[in-house]
C-alpha cells in the first residue's frame, strides 16, 4: 500500500513538472532526502528513481529553462575543485574498493550542489526549494518525534522509515539536521508565499519545531543537545525581546527535564564525563591518529582511509554507589574506527588540499550570508523583508551543522550540500536583483543623464 502510494505521488509530482520543469528539481530534492526507493519494497526499489529524476531535473533545465540569469559563483568553483580533488584521491586511495563506494554517492551530491543554484532564478524557486527540503526531512522528523513522544526512543533504537543507519536515517546525523532546519522552518512560517502565514501554517510549523527538538531526545545523540544549545544562543541575534526569550527558554528547559527519559539524562552526562565513555574516548584517539596520518600523507588517503587505523586507549569509570568510590580502568584496542568528525574526515581522507577547499566553502558561506543579512536588514520597502531573514536562517543552519560536524562525519552529507546550493542561489539571485539599481548609480553620466544615472526630469513649467 505504502509502495503504491509513494509511486503514485512521485508519478503525479513528475507529471506536474511537464508544465513547470523546475518541479523536477524539487522532485530530486525529495528523492535524495527521503529515499522513497528504500522505504518501498516493490516498484520504486526496482527502478533507478534517483537517476531518472536527476535526468529529468538536469534535462528540463538544459532544454527548456531560461538561462540568462544563471550565474556560476565562486563557491560553485570551489565545489568543482573539491569534486575533482575527491576524484583524484579516490584514484590514489589506500582502500580503493571502499573508496569507490563512497565516491559513488559523493560525486552526485557535489554535482547537484553545483547545479542547484543555476536553477534558483526567482524568489519563488528559492522558497520552493527551502519548503521541499524542510517538508521532506520533516517526514522523518515527525515520525521520529512522535515515536519519541510515545516512548519509543533510545540510542540506536529509534526506528525511522529506513533502518540501515545511512544518510539522514542515522541518529546523530538526523538530530543535527533536525536542529539545523529549525531556522528555515521559522523563515517559512513568517515569509512563506506557497503556504502564507496563517494559523494553520503556524500551528504546523510550531509542531514541527517541537518534533525537531525531540529528535536528539529520541536518538539520544549528544551532538543534537549541543546543537540545540547553539540554536538558543544564535536566536538571540534575531529575537526582539531578548529578556522574555531567555526567561521562556530557561523555564521551558527546567520544565522539560522531568519529562526526559533516564537513559537520555545518563547519556548526556557523558558529555562531561567523557573518560568513561568508549565512544568519546575512541574519537579522541582517532583524531590523534588522523593528525599523525596527515603528517605522513598530507594529500590524504582517500575515502575510508580510517580503515587503516589501529588504536589502543584506556577508559576510566568512576562508581560512587554504596558510599564508596571505585575506579575501574579498562584497556581497549580497536581498529578501523571512523572519524566521527567532519573536520578530521576531510583531513584524513582528502588531506590538506581537500580540507582547505572544504573549509573555504564553509567560511565563505558564513561570510556571504552575513553580508546579505547586513545589506538587507534595514530595508523597509515592499518585497524587501524576506532576504535578510533567509540569509540569517541559512547562516544559522550552517553554523549548527558546523558544530554538529565536530562530532559526526558528515562532510559530504547531501542535505548540507543542498543547503550550500541554496546559499549560492540566494547570493547569486540577490546580487542580480540589486545590480540594475547599483549599476545605474555607478554609471557615468552620459548625454541626457543626471549624475545619479537617472534621466533628468522634464521641467514641469515647460510642459504646461
455 binds another protein (CB under 8 A): yes
Distances from the Cα of 303 to the Cαs of 124, 283, 289, in angstroms? Answer: 37, 18, 16
d(CA 309, CA 290): 8
Site string for another protein, 92-121 (x = CB under 8 A): -----------------------------x
Q: Which stretch in 368-376, 392-400, 404-412, 449-457 sits in contact with another protein by CB under 8 A?
A: 449-457
Give, as ranges, the residues between 361 and 390 that touch another protein (CB under 8 A).
381-383
> Does the protein bind another protein through residue 63 (CB under 8 A)?
no
- Exactly one of 78, 93, 109, 132 binds another protein (CB under 8 A); that residue is 132
Residues 212, 179 contacting (CB under 8 angstroms): yes
2 lies in the site for another protein, by CB under 8 A:
yes
At 319, list the grid cell: 562508581
The label of the residue with cell 544615472 reads: 453
Task: Name the one range near another protein by CB under 8 A: 11-19, 49-57, 336-344, 405-413.
Answer: 11-19
Cα 120 to Cα 112, 113, 249, 288, 430, distances in angstroms: 13, 12, 36, 42, 11
DSSP string, 393-450: HHHHHHHHHHHHTTTS--TT-HHHHHHHHHHHHHHHHHHHHHHHHHHHHHSPP-TT--
Asked if 147 is part of the footprint of another protein (rule: CB under 8 A), the reply reads yes
Residue 458 lies near another protein (rule: CB under 8 A): yes
Position 151 contacts another protein (CB under 8 A): no
Determine if 71 is a binding residue for another protein (CB under 8 A): no
Task: Say how far apart CA 395 and CA 377 lie, in whole Å.
Answer: 14
Q: Quick one: 6 or 93, whose CB is closer to another protein? A: 6
19 touching another protein, by CB under 8 A: yes
Using the rule CB under 8 A, is 399 a contact of another protein? Answer: no
- 271: DSSP letter: G
By rule CB under 8 A, what string of x and - marks binding of each residue 211-250 to another protein?
----------------------------------------
Q: Least distance (Å) from another protein to the CB of residue 174?
A: 13
Q: Which residues contact 336 (CB under 8 A, 6 or more apart)?
A: 306, 307, 308, 309, 310
Task: Kindly write out the interface string for residues 155-194 of this chain, putting x where it contacts another protein by CB under 8 A and - elsewhere.
Answer: ------x--------------------------------x
Task: Identify which of 122, 153, 130 has the alpha carbon closest to the alpha carbon of residue 205.
Answer: 130
Where do runs of H (alpha helix) occur along 150-170? none
Do the Cβ atoms of 136 and 208 come closer than 8 Å? no
Per CB under 8 A, the list member of 143, 238, 279, 288 interacting with another protein is: 143
Q: Nearest distance from residue 159's CB to another protein, in Å? A: 9
Q: Near another protein by CB under 8 A, which window of 21-29, 83-91, 272-280, 304-312?
A: 21-29
* Residue 359 burial (CB count, 10 A): 14
- The partner residues of 331 in beta bridges, in order of sequence, read 314
CA dist., res. 46 & res. 119, Å (int): 29
Q: Minimum distance from CB of 104 to another protein (Å)?
A: 27
- Of the candidates 74, 81, 102, which has an alpha carbon nearest to the alpha carbon of residue 353? 81
Residues in contact with another protein by CB under 8 A are 2, 5-6, 9, 12-13, 16, 19-20, 22-23, 26, 30, 39, 65-66, 121-125, 128, 131-132, 135-136, 138-140, 142-143, 146-147, 150, 161, 194-195, 381-383, 433, 437, 454-455, 457-458, 460, 463-464
Amino acid at each position: 500500500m505504502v509502495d503504491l502510494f509513494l509511486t503514485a505521488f512521485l508519478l503525479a509530482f513528475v507529471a506536474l513538472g511537464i508544465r513547470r520543469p523546475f518541479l523536477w528539481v524539487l522532485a530530486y530534492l525529495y528523492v535524495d532526502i527521503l529515499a522513497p526507493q528504500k522505504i518501498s519494497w516493490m516498484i520504486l526499489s526496482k527502478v533507478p528513481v534517483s537517476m531518472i529524476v536527476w535526468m529529468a531535473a538536469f534535462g528540463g533545465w538544459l532544454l527548456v529553462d531560461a538561462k540568462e540569469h544563471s550565474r556560476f559563483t565562486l563557491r560553485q568553483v570551489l565545489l568543482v575543485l573539491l569534486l575533482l580533488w575527491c576524484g583524484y584521491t579516490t584514484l590514489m586511495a589506500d582502500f580503493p574498493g571502499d573508496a569507490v563506494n563512497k565516491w559513488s554517492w559523493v560525486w552526485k551530491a557535489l554535482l547537484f550542489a553545483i547545479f542547484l543554484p543555476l536553477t534558483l532564478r526567482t524568489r519563488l524557486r528559492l522558497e520552493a526549494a527551502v519548503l521541499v527540503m524542510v517538508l521532506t526531512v520533516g517526514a522523518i522528523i515527525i515520525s521520529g518525534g512522535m515515536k519519541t513522544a510515545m516512548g519509543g526512543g533510545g540510542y540506536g533504537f529509534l526506528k525511522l522509515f529506513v533502518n540501515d543507519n545511512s544518510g539522514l536515517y542515522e541518529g546523530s546525523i538526523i538530530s543535527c539536521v533536525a536542529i539545523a532546519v529549525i531556522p528555515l522552518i521559522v523563515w517559512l512560517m513568517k515569509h512563506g508565499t506557497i503556504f502564507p502565514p496563517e494559523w494553520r501554517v503556524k500551528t504546523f510549523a510550531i509542531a514541527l519545531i517541537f518534533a525537531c527538538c525531540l529528535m536528539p531526545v529520541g536518538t539520544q545523540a549528544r551532538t543534537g543537545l549541543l546543537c540545540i544549545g547553539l540554536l538558543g544562543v544564535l536566536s538571540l541575534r534575531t529575537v526582539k525581546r531578548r529578556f522574555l526569550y531567555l526567561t521562556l527558554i530557561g523555564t521551558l528547559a527546567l520544565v522539560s527535564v522531568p519529562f526526559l527519559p533516564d537513559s537520555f539524562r545518563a547519556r548526556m552526562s557523558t558529555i562531561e564525563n567523557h573518560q568513561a565513555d568508549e565512544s568519546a574516548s575512541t574519537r579522541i584517539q582517532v583524531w590523534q591518529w588522523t593528525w599523525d596520518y596527515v603528517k605522513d600523507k598530507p594529500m590524504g588517503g582517500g575515502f575510508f582511509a580510517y580503515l587503516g587505523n589501529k588504536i589502543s586507549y584506556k577508559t576510566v569509570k568512576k562508581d560512587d554507589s554504596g558510599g564508596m568510590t571505585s575506579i575501574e580502568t579498562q584497556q581497549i584496542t580497536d581498529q578501523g574506527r571512523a572519524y566521527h568528525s567532519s573536520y578530521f574526515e576531510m583531513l584524513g581522507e582528502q588531506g590538506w588540499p581537500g580540507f582547505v577547499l572544504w573549509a573555504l566553502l564553509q567560511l565563505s558561506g558564513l561570510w556571504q550570508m552575513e553580508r546579505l543579512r547586513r545589506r538587507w536588514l534595514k530595508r523597509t520597502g515592499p518585497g524587501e523583508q524576506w532576504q535578510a531573514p533567509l540569509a540569517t536562517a541559512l547562516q544559522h543552519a550552517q553554523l549548527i551543522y558546523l558544530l554538529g560536524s565536530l562530532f559526526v562525519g558528515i562532510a559530504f552529507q547531501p542535505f548540507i550540500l543542498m543547503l550550500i546550493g541554496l546559499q549560492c542561489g540566494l547570493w547569486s539571485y540577490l546580487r542580480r536583483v540589486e545590480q540594475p539599481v547599483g549599476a545605474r548609480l555607478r554609471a557615468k553620466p552620459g548625454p541626457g543623464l543626471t549624475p545619479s544615472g537617472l534621466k533628468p526630469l522634464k521641467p514641469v513649467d515647460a510642459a504646461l
